[in-house]
Chain A
């Protein structure tokens, strides 16, 4: 599923990387606050759902070649993190939904978890 289609289906705000949304393909979803976990189970095409907002979510996205990041609970990454995402072409999105709510919305439109695919 294209990240662009996901954004149309669930309520999220685009904070950075808007220009690379159309060509991002999402294969699975990982809901995770532990970057080491993402790095341990990384495979191509993961959409990361996280409560973290620091610069390391962007570095992890680049290293693990994530399709994008959605930050939950309306948290706002600081300017440094948003700037880094823009520079690295990482789609960084935000939603007011909590983690479970967002994940159930994503499941409803047909997305599966990284480990249950």
Chain B
């Protein structure tokens, strides 16, 4: 655990579970709203977490998300046990995907997940070991305790 942790919680994710897939990210979204982060920050964290969570559902055996909030950042570590990624540089490319037709029929598998995770993070670290699994670390810089309203919408009611 990181020093000065404001909040820390882990969530399990089951590979292949397309019904419950996304549940962990939705819970993270609710927690960040309750912690009164601005809507734009909550949105970025939610989108990045959700695309990473769906990658576990689509490509891995099982895994989880761990949310850590410190005074100056939101960190979401998404780690799985699974096949791993043979070529990370290739996987990060816009449009690259090994998704099956079944996955595409569910609205995913356009090869936009990892690039969108990167776009929504301030820092993104990804590492993978073939046959063992993949770890994606999403960092979003946000000051907890002095949150501002960045959107036209009001801040989450607290």
Asked if B38 is at the interface (CB within 8 A of a chain A CB), the reply is: no
Interface residues on B, range: 20 to 34
Contact B50 A44 (CB under 8 A): no
Asked if A34 is at the interface (CB within 8 A of a chain B CB), the reply is: yes
- Chain B contact residues, CB within 8 Å of chain A: 18-23, 25-26, 29, 39, 43, 46-47, 50-51, 54, 106-110, 112-113, 116, 119, 151-153
In the assembled complex, the CB of A100 is this many whole angstroms from the nearest CB of chain B, namely: 19
- Chain A contact residues, CB within 8 Å of chain B: 33-37, 39-40, 42, 44, 50, 52, 54-57, 59-60, 62-65, 80, 88
In the assembled complex, the CB of A59 is this many whole angstroms from the nearest CB of chain B, namely: 3
Contact B50 A59 (CB under 8 A): yes
Contact B25 A36 (CB under 8 A): no
Contact A33 to B107, CB < 8 A, known contacts A42-B47, A54-B18, A55-B19 = yes
Report chain B residues within 8 Å CB of A33.
107
Q: Give the complex CA separation of A39 and B118 in angstroms.
A: 13
Contact B151 A44 (CB under 8 A): yes
Contact A63 to B151, CB < 8 A, known contacts A35-B107, A55-B18 = no
Q: Give the complex CA separation of A85 and B124 in angstroms.
A: 31
